[in-house]
Amino acid sequence: MQRGVHAELAKLLCIPFCAWPHFRAISLRYSVPRETLFSIYSQDCQQRVKASSYRVQQSIATYCCRYQSGADILDLAAELDVAPCSLLRQLLLRLPWGLQRERITKVLRDPTCLANLVRPEAGEQAQLAAGLDRMQHDVVRCVEADQVCSPASDLIRHTMGVEYEVVLCRKLREVDIAFWSEDDLRDKGFHKTPDVKLQVPVAVRGRIINWIDSKATFGDERTHRHLIENQFDKYVNRYGPGAVIYWFGHVVDLDSDDVLVLAGFPLPADITTLPRLPLPA
């Protein structure tokens, strides 16, 4: 994808959290798959959540008072333009119920456990029951309304990541390329492992590849730069040059000397293989 097209799409998809992009219309207009559009949208939302974290923390006392006075939590999230679950986490931390981050995560996954996890401060017992009933209902509402930061969306991203790792392994077997999976490498004591390490390097479009990482996302410049710094450079230092597959596409010109960027598994005609060798001890 050309960078100008990506910038235009990102601008169209950067809308308030309380709204929902017209994925179908944008997909038809730009001939871009909806999965790619949703990936771009999700990446932007996650960056906006991180960027707004400090702003929400600075004003959370005010919004906590307003919530306790009867303000609707989804209205507050829309006013702040933050993801509902992001605001909800901050409110639960602020309320005098003794909820820590780990317990809040459990509450978002199962709102019915809220009453069993709170440890109210002295003087809060009298108002606790009514407050818990309302909050449990609002947890359900926030989780249902939040398409980016809810446990369900986190599970979807994780599941898609695992599914595309399986796809990568299947396609390697189909073209008879021997490899070690991430689990294989960890069993051997390797650390900082890519999704697959090829047992013998192959050439893809004339580039030597020792490892492949699978990303069930869109590869924009910011995402790729972050991965280069936090993952790919470490793989290159340990295993040599490799490749990353962004299954939902990527902007052009992300390739570097050591990391080949792909939008899908390469065609067999683009791959040159060599004989297999055993894994070094």
Do 100 and 125 sit in the same domain of this protein?
A: yes
Identify whether 281 is part of a domain.
no
Do 28 and 121 sit in the same domain of this protein?
A: yes
Do 178 and 116 sit in the same domain of this protein?
A: no
pLDDT tens by residue, 116-163: 888 776 555 555 666 888 999 999 999 999 988 899 898 999 999 999
Do 40 and 80 sit in the same domain of this protein?
A: yes
Of the residues 94, 111, 145, which one is the last residue of a structural domain? 145
Q: Are 211 and 180 in contact (CB under 8 A)?
A: no
- What per-residue confidence (pLDDT) applies to 263? 95
CA distance 218 to 245: 10
CA distance 139 to 85: 8
- What per-residue confidence (pLDDT) applies to 215? 97
Identify whether 278 is part of a domain.
no
Do 190 and 134 sit in the same domain of this protein?
A: no
- What per-residue confidence (pLDDT) applies to 118? 85
205, β-bridge pairs: none
Average pLDDT over residues 6-23: 91
Do 232 and 111 sit in the same domain of this protein?
A: no
Identify whether 84 is part of a domain.
yes
- What per-residue confidence (pLDDT) applies to 79? 93
Mean residue pLDDT of the chain comes to: 90
Determine the 3-state secondary structure of 70 from DSSP. Answer: coil
Do 202 and 218 sit in the same domain of this protein?
A: yes
pLDDT tens by residue, 222-240: 999 999 999 999 999 999 9
Average pLDDT over residues 191-205: 91
Structural domain including 49 reads: 3-145
Do 19 and 140 sit in the same domain of this protein?
A: yes
Do 138 and 158 sit in the same domain of this protein?
A: no
Q: Would you say residue 202 has pLDDT above 70?
A: yes
